Structure 1
């Protein structure tokens, strides 16, 4: 953690600093809830990584397992409200982008920073895909009572999966759901848009 870890923790505990970090991993309730539990430590010095696509929060989503602390979770001495989620368009082509806008309001008594997280769900995939995937995020600083609009862009890269046989990225036409929230489990608003045509491009 570095030589200033103790001072940093003290600043947070005594309220001199308002924390705004978010977890980059999931904390399980039990060891048995972890994605690698059935595969580790393996046999004869070999470990099979059986999670496949379902690493981290994707596994907990797929298995409907409630974690102790979810991916993207964080604490603050203030609170934030999400409102007025909007998309710039209801349909995009392979070369277009969709702007995702949401209003964030500091509803507490202290200045603070919130990290807005945008997840995407493919609702018409032709193959198995995660329940949702983090595709964009941004940090916004707000005074007490202040409101700001956060805008992030979603393009075909955020909608695609990798075809390892063809060695190409694939974005399939269909409906996609946008989920905006404070963590992978704390989703505050959703909206949908349609990708009108499929496309492929090399790695």
Structure 2
């Protein structure tokens, strides 16, 4: 949430990984300091709840930001250790929160525009079909059970026909919806990995007796 490009300054490539690790630790620490102080409606912001998310500029951050947050920014030289620094720290936080809200409340992608040129399982450039990662026949149940937000119901993976068939042979529609609703989760299955290795070696359009 609070990551800012170049925030730690150094650009020497020999220190790139060290800087990246330091930045991750730094931003994680700052986020942990701030997150519990924010309204629940902001912490759980989604596209569906965007009308309930408070305007960042209306939040009383000046009185709720913990001193440790400001002290950390000052110790890193990002703000001054005086009253001007307090104001700069709040401005810093507001910018980060605006970026967070914009991302959290963004509309879901138009899934038809996520089309790939390769099958997302076997990675062959062959004719593709789209697989509903949350099968349509269990959409109502997925909403009722709160497995997924409505915005995710029409998410798809672009698969060749053999891989599409393999996925549906691997599990029932309900299990696919509940447990294997991303390509990454599908590829974590041992049977899908075995199928992937086999399918990747097959020439498209060759009949097998």
If asked which structure has higher relative contact order (CA below 8 Å, sep 6+), I would say 1
Judge same fold: TM > 0.5, yes or no: no
Higher helix share: 2
TM-score by length of 2: 0.24
Higher strand share: 1
TM-score by length of 1: 0.25
- Greater C-alpha radius of gyration: 2
